[in-house]
Amino acid sequence: MNRLETDILVIGAGAAGMGAAICAANSGVSVIVVERNPDAGGILNQCIHNGFGLHYFKKEFTGPEFAYQLYSKTKESGIQFLFNHFLLQLDLKNKTAIFASEEGIKLIACKALIYTAGARERPFGSLLIPGDRVSGIFTAGVAQRLTNIENRLPGTKALILGSGDIGLIMARRLTLEGVEVVAVCERMPYPGGLARNIDQCLKDFGIPLLLSTTVTEVRGDGRLREVITSSLDENYNIIEGTQRSWSVDTLVLSVGLVPSTTPIMDYFSIDSKSRGVIVDNCMRTDKDWIFSAGNCVIIYDLVDYVTYQGEMAGRSAVNYIKNGNNPARYPIKKGNGVGVINCSYYVENSDLELYIRVNKPKEKAKLVVRSDNTIIYEGKPSAFIPSEMVRVKIKAEKIDDSFKKSSLVTEIIDL
């Protein structure tokens, strides 16, 4: 049994993990990053389309290029990487993580831990769609990996369920590779992906987007041969008589991501609804020495945001090691119109950076952050859609001057 020691242990070598590691190492502490895959970058490595890095690097990269830029920075900082390592359990008493590797069981003791394991896709089984047990049904991420990394097409004629960004991008990618994409269906009355991806991936290629529509049956003998879709009413009930048959051999699912928290859900608090790690605005969990960032907290729409939050976790972990302070923190509550928010607590005397998704589209509204009846932040009137996050930065002095030391409330006010 091997044993290592480090100041900061990072679990996950995606954008959040590398951002955290770089930030921490540049502060003079030792850092080990553990990754279950054979290389760094996570999901970025199969996202060969562009659009990454415009915020963080001020340049546009593909996913692998963005990952390479971050990984190059880790080499400048003396960070140690351990690949092909799988987390087995945490020893909270001794601040030790236990991993399985090709060399056997490995124990890594640390002063602070940062969990950045990303997210996983919702599988077909979770949708409870009746029909035959057939091959030819893939999540969008699996279809992306097959096409972009393994150079294998999932099929010849496809229907995509869900208008999440990966699904939209795969509609374009499969079309470019010669697969006929007959339609993208979305159960909500509005798209689930970014507006730019609707334009560039569907409209530019003449692929129809069918809103308020879902898959209600799959048919086939061994391989998928037919998909039945139905229209939905405002309460998401099937409208009888709207069934439509599609002759396809492939069904691609882009039905959302779930934070990857199963390995650690017994060790610190997890949101029962979103399954994300519960953190404060400094990315600290309910264990003072454990921090978390990235898609295992909430699902972000830009990898740039994931990297920023990783950096925040890195700074906070270093601060914990060097100062050992345990400042007071207060709840951040979701008010009207707010569907997702990146943190559940505010640490006093700290800057507050919020990432928020609305729960439904708003043609004209404004974001307000308040303490009781005192408004701390008021955004400009604008349109909001659930697929695009709102990023807000509020200085500590602006909060603490008017904060009632009870809770903060974020809400979307219709205009």
- Type and span of the H or E element at 120: strand 119-121
C-beta of residue 119 within 8 angstroms of C-beta of residue 164: no
Q: What is the pLDDT of residue 35?
A: 98
pLDDT digits (tens, 9 = 90+) for 240-293: 999 999 999 999 999 999 999 998 999 999 998 889 999 999 999 999 999 999
Domain ranges of the chain: 1-121+256-326, 123-255, 329-415
219 pLDDT above the threshold of 80 = yes
Pinpoint the alpha helices (H) of 138-189: 140-148, 165-176
Confidence class for position 340, pLDDT limits 50, 70, 90 = very high
Residue % of the chain over a pLDDT of 70: 100
What's the CATH class of domain 1-121+256-326? Answer: alpha beta
Give the three-state DSSP class for 298.
coil
- Count how many Cα atoms sit within 13 Å of the Cα of residue 124 in the half-sphere of its side chain: 24
Whether 123-255 and 1-121+256-326 are alike in CATH topology: the answer is: yes
Q: Distance of CA 291 to CAs 55, 81, 117, 277, 414, Å?
A: 24, 19, 12, 9, 35
C-beta of residue 156 within 8 angstroms of C-beta of residue 180: yes
DSSP 8-state code for residue 365: E
C-beta of residue 353 within 8 angstroms of C-beta of residue 306: no
How far apart CA 359 and CA 380 sit, in angstroms, is 19
Q: What is the pLDDT of residue 403?
A: 84
Give residue 279's identity as a one-letter amino acid code.
Answer: V
How far apart CA 195 and CA 187 sit, in angstroms, is 17
pLDDT digits (tens, 9 = 90+) for 97-124: 999 999 999 999 999 999 999 999 999 9
The domain over range 123-255 is classified in CATH as 3.50.50.60: yes
Find how far residue 121's CA is from the centre of its chain: 10
pTM across the whole model:
0.94
Full 3-state SS string of 3-65: EEEEEEEEECCCHHHHHHHHHHHCCCCCEEEECCCCCCCHHHHHCCCCCECCCCCCCCECHHH
Q: What is the pLDDT of residue 406?
A: 84
